[in-house]
Amino acid sequence: MHRNNAYMNQHMNIPMGQVDEWLDHLRNHGRKDNTLATYRNNIRQCFYLLRFHGLPTDVRLLQVEHIVLLWRELPVKEGVKRSYLRNLSGLVEYHTGVDIVKKANLLYNRECHDRLFIDKAEFKLAFSAANEYQKVILCLGAYMGLRRAEMANIRDGDIRNNILTIHGKGHGVDGMVTNLRIPPRVLEAIEVYRASKYKQGERADDYLLQCRSWNGTLHRVHLNKISDTVARLGRSVGISLTTHSLRRFYATTLYYDANCDLQTMRKLMRHADVATTLKCYVNANDREERKASDTLMILIDELIDCGE
């Protein structure tokens, strides 16, 4: 048996009492059952691998070296590993008060990872080459800062009197519900798209972005389909483009060109913490860097000249 899959035979007698206690706590704070089921499965995969190596599955006994082993040997992609260990981190911290995954310094260095930004010329290039379906996605991302999951959840009935009801991230029954004004260009893109061959449904409660299953049933478009559509558009014009780079374009344009203050940006982007808005979504701007450097030079020159 392949070593990466061998631990899957160690399924017997994995204790889940501590996990279920934590999940009950999260459920009482509004987390959805399908989310909790995912958390439970993720942690169980970690426990399987720990048991395979003869290590404890009592969260009070876990050490940093155990977390490092999980990071090294879990037979999944890096992004999935991060999800597993974030869930394990929450479990351990609930029972011990210590974020042992943070101590392992594996997940909390996102600032070292490259984040994809696009500039105005690249957005214009993509928009000019987009079809009616792609233009709706571009507009929802660049004009309104919507996440791909928020785009996928839009129903035709969520658009009323130029206001869009957004079902965004959150842990209540319906997530975080917000109402945003729809800019005219976005409304125009939606109407053109509705009249095109890309909009397949006719019922008032249809999802705005739809696809058909193999049996012809209409349903909301899968998140990966939105990502793939944007990525293909980017490749067709020679740029790297993602749905999240559209959201970062929205933030960067608000900050530098619309002179939007950070607290207003935080609210528009539906962030709980303004630090997330600034650190993850606002790109360094060459023009502003030169302006800041020139201003600094003038101020220091004046200081030196004043003393002569």
- Same domain, residue pair 133 and 275: yes
- The CATH number covering residue 211 comes to 1.10.443.10
Domain boundary among 108, 138, 160: 108
pLDDT tier for residue 112 given thresholds of 50, 70 and 90: very low
- Same domain, residue pair 145 and 201: yes
Has residue 172 got a pLDDT over 50?
A: no
Query: Per the domain annotation, does 293 fall within a domain?
Result: no
Q: Quick check: 55 and 10 in contact, CB under 8 A?
A: no
Query: Per the domain annotation, does 172 fall within a domain?
Result: yes
pLDDT tier for residue 204 given thresholds of 50, 70 and 90: low
- Same domain, residue pair 130 and 271: yes
Query: Per the domain annotation, does 21 fall within a domain?
Result: yes
- Same domain, residue pair 134 and 271: yes
Beta bridge partners of 212: 218
- Same domain, residue pair 249 and 179: yes
Most confident of the ranges 19-23, 100-104, 106-110 = 19-23
pLDDT of residue 104: 75
With a pLDDT cut of 70, the percent of the chain lying above it is: 83
Query: Per the domain annotation, does 132 fall within a domain?
Result: yes
Distance between CA atoms of residues 148 and 297, nearest Å: 43
Query: Per the domain annotation, does 304 fall within a domain?
Result: no
Considering only residues 26 and 14, tell me which one the structure prediction assigns the higher pLDDT.
26
Domain count, the chain: 2
Domain boundary among 86, 108, 130: 108
Mean pLDDT value across residues 237-259: 90
- Same domain, residue pair 131 and 155: yes
What would the DSSP string read from start to end of 80-124? HHHHHHHHHHHHHHHHHS--HHHHTTSSS-GGGS------HHHHH
Which single residue is written with the structure tokens 């990502």?
227
Query: Per the domain annotation, does 207 fall within a domain?
Result: yes
Mean pLDDT value across residues 8-31: 80
What would the DSSP string read from start to end of 138-151? HHHHHHH---HHHH
131 φψ region: left (φ > 0), alpha (ψ -120 to 50), beta (else): beta
- Same domain, residue pair 87 and 146: no
- Same domain, residue pair 270 and 142: yes
- Same domain, residue pair 212 and 257: yes
At 285-305, the pLDDT tens digits run: 666 666 777 787 887 778 778
The pair of structure tokens assigned to 186 is 């976005």
- Residue 178 is classified by DSSP as E
- Same domain, residue pair 175 and 245: yes
Query: Per the domain annotation, does 97 fall within a domain?
Result: yes
pLDDT of residue 12: 55
- Positive/negative CA dihedral, 281, 283, 289, 291: negative
Domain boundary among 58, 74, 108: 108
- Same domain, residue pair 81 and 142: no
Distance between CA atoms of residues 93 and 88, nearest Å: 9
Mean pLDDT value across residues 137-158: 92
pLDDT of residue 303: 74
- Same domain, residue pair 151 and 199: yes
* Domain span at 249: 120-286
Query: Per the domain annotation, does 303 fall within a domain?
Result: no
Q: Quick check: 55 and 17 in contact, CB under 8 A?
A: no
